[in-house]
Structure 1
Amino acid sequence: MSYASETKRTSPASMALAIGVNGSIILAVALSPVIVEQIKRDPFEGRSIPVEPLPPKQDEQKQDSDTRPLDPVYVPEPVNTNIPNDPVDIRTGNEETGDIVIADGTGSGETLIKDPPPEPPAIFSAATRDPRFARDFQPDYPSNLLQREIEGSATVRVLIGSDGRVHEAQLVRATHPDFGKATVKQALKAWRFRPATRGDVAVEDWQTLSVRFTID
């Protein structure tokens, strides 16, 4: 009997074992987790992103600045240079004379404007004794000196007012105090003057006068 034609009977235990092994493999494959390769999605997919242009190069910037219109240039009005050959000398004053010098406007030269001459000072006339009161000029003789026959004199300085009266009397000197007292008293009481004048106006005047006391 040849090997090829020989039939061999398989045992039921072997068959069950083979089926179990194959089923376990199939079941293991079926239950194993499916590995799925996740493809990362681009977050910018489907959206438009504005792209800023690149800054121009230096050559391009220079070209743009050269072609840009310039600001208008201010041109001042022309200065009148037509100066006369013989300009008028205009001055404000003369240090030596104090005269004011101005141009007369005709181009013929200068015009001197001088200050008006000052008015002459008013003439002063001193006070004089009023002859109507001449007899009242001599003071009374002091009796004690008269009895003793003592002669002398007195000098006083008086302020003659614009009304001709003596407003103040000051003793300058006297040979005896009683002569001085008698003279001051008489001056304030009875002396009268024609007042001093400055121009046509009566003014005060100080004068110094002397009186002599003699026994006839």
Structure 2
Amino acid sequence: MSYADQSNKLTPAKMVGLIFAVGFVALALVGMAMGLTISKAVQAIERVTTVDIEEPPPPPEEPDEVPPPPENAPPPPPVAPPPPIVIAPAPPPIQTQPTPPPPAPPVLVIPPPAPVAPPPPPSQARGASPRGQNRWAGRIQENYPSRALREEIEGTVGVRVTVTADGRATGCQVTSSSGSGILDEAACKGVERYGRFNPALDDAGNPTTGAFSTRITYRLN
């Protein structure tokens, strides 16, 4: 066999290389076709919808480190704490009551005027008075006590008697002594025995008990 015959003969190795070459060409053609199709699809999408996407702002820059204070720097001024806040307790709820209506004014009842009573009759009251005093006083002096005559005793006796409703004298009392018990006793007995009186009267004019005072004088002739 000549060298030309050997070179034209299709060996398995050549066959594998041929297959690879044909596959590579086919893949290249398929890739070109697919690239054209994707490019047209992207252009169509961009024509249909355009979306603006804003980029997020950049993060803030971190502050630079604060340099430490110098060693001889004065301390910061003290900061007074804020005053405490006093919260007053809530006041108790105010209970309001409806104001009652004012009471109705009382009904003023004016009674009818009382009938005018007739004026009372004039009072007829009066005190006891002597009746015939000169007469019975003379009789008393005529009965001069005998002992006083012998001793020549004179004097005036003041007496007070109670006059009964029938005009008689009783309960004689010496209001002014003559200085002689003989004359004082004789004067009281004489008035009770010989005295006559008009009795006292009450407001209606009825006789009632009264009183009378007088003086009896004893004098020698």
TM-score range, shorter chain: 0.3 to 0.5
Query: Considering only CA atoms, is the larger Rg found in Structure 1 or Structure 2?
Result: 2
Give the structure with the larger strand fraction: 1
TM-score (norm 2): 0.44
